[in-house]
Amino acid sequence: MYLKAFKALLLGLCIAAVAMISWAPNSLAGGGYLEKQVQVLIQQNRALTDRLMQVEQQLSEMKAAPEPEPAYAGAAGFLSDLENRITFSGLLEFGAAYHSTDMNEGSFEHDSDLCMTTVELAIAAEVNDWVSAGMVLLYEDPTFEEETGSLDVDEAVITIANEDVTPAFLKAGKMFVPFGALFEHFPDDPLIDAPLTLLLGEISEKALLIGAEYEGFTVSTYAFNGDVEEAGGGDNVIESYGFDANYAFEDEDMGLDLLVGGSYISNLFEGGAQDALEDLDIDDYVGGAAAYFHVGYLDFFFDAEYMAATDTVGLLTEAGLLEGKINNIEVWNFELGYNYNWWRNLEITLKYAGSNDCYALGFPRDRYGINFNQEIFDNTVLSIGYMYDEYDDDNTDEERNSRDLVFGQLAVEF
């Protein structure tokens, strides 16, 4: 635009000069001289016009050509792509607990503790349309224990799935295999040992899992090589397996959500029972079955879960002698709750849980509890609760009779 204006101005000046010279008196110059000067001015104007057109064309070509990328442009594009494909999340839990245990002989014991119960960092990556990967780093510091925990890889899973193409999926890696639903609205282990279904049925293994999900129905089956071996069995043999099937339904307009399912595992003692019986071996693998149910309507919810061993447990000493048998291992957990949004959401939960023939595992016969989860800021929850445990008279865990437990926890997610 500036070049066009300048060219017009220059042309106007030339024309004005020619006019002035043409009107000048003949006494100032001869006619031939004036004509030569006019021709010179016309030639100069044409040359200048051609030059201006060349400059204008060069500027147009420079605008059309792409600007060269800086040296760091490739790295910036790569980092931006990573930001879109990789997500980070975390969980911090700080807890306090006090418990008093009444013994059968009339005495009692009590302990209190403060600890950083959970430090968790999760990394998830969408590699492409078919492949995703996830990893969870976990540090736990259980209450009432002298030894602190260590930082471990809690989960590391590769998933191959594309729900737009097929309902089938595959997972491989270190994972919690799907045995039961492990419902829980209380702060759980390692702050307090709850629920009993989680203590028995939470099983972390390096496993291969295949499954499918369609119209709310999900089925999956998996295999792994566990740490617990039967007497006379070979080591490092993949012979443990399981499956799970469930149906989920949700209607936001009705305020209704539902989950019902069942599970089976061929080696139940890969869970919490493994730690409880670490000094004993089993004569054969012990299978386990689980059934679970959840319903939520408006602000109310109800969870129910039941687990049981499908075989009799034969306990062996290190010498291979039969130490004893456990005939009917059973655990259950029921929770009824209500969400009350009075300032921020307050979740109130009542619990009843129990077990049968689990005295060797240290589980109570009956458990009653109440818990309050109050959201105090975004992604920040303060929990306060109480639990009461009753034990079998013939339990082998220091002749405990009952226990009172008061606890609190501050949890922050990001």
pLDDT confidence of residue 321: 45
The pLDDT value given to residue 26: 47
pLDDT of residue 253: 92
DSSP string of 301-335, one letter each residue: EEEEEEEEESSPEEEE-TTS-EEEEE---EEEEEE
Same domain, yes or no, for 15 and 92?
Answer: no
Tell me: do 305 and 372 sit in the same domain.
yes
Per-residue pLDDT reduced to its tens digit, 78-121: 556 667 789 999 999 999 999 999 887 778 888 999 989 999 99
Q: Please, which residues bridge with residue 353 across strands?
A: 333, 367
Backbone angles phi, psi at 127, to 5 degrees: -70, -45
pLDDT of residue 29: 47
Residues 107 and 19 in one domain: no
93 lies in the same domain as 51: no
- Picking from 217, 207, 218, the residue whose alpha carbon sits closest to that of residue 242 is 207
Range of the domain at 25: 2-64
Burial 60-83 (b: 16+ CB within 10 A, else e): eeeeeeeeeeeeeeeeeeeeeeee
Q: For residue 190, tell me if it sits in a domain.
A: yes
Q: Tell whether 132 is covered by a domain.
A: no
**Average pLDDT per block of 10 residues along the chain, 414 residues long:** 53 53 47 66 72 72 61 58 84 94 83 92 94 95 77 95 96 96 89 84 94 97 84 72 97 95 92 64 81 97 96 62 68 97 96 89 92 97 96 67 94 96
Does 270 map to a domain? yes
Q: Is there a domain that residue 145 lies in?
A: no
Pair (365, 309) in one structural domain: yes
For the chain, what is the domain count?
2
Q: Please answer whether residues 225 and 234 qualify as being in contact, where contact means their C-beta atoms are separated by less than 8 angstroms.
A: no
Whether residues 369 and 290 share a domain: the answer is yes
In a domain, 148, yes or no: no
Inter-residue contact 314 to 325 (CB < 8 Å) = yes
- Asked if residues 248 and 216 have their Cβ atoms less than 8 Å apart, the reply is yes
In a domain, 51, yes or no: yes
Same-domain pairing of 277 and 246: yes
Q: In this predicted structure, what is the pLDDT of residue 109?
A: 86
Q: What is the pLDDT of residue 348?
A: 98
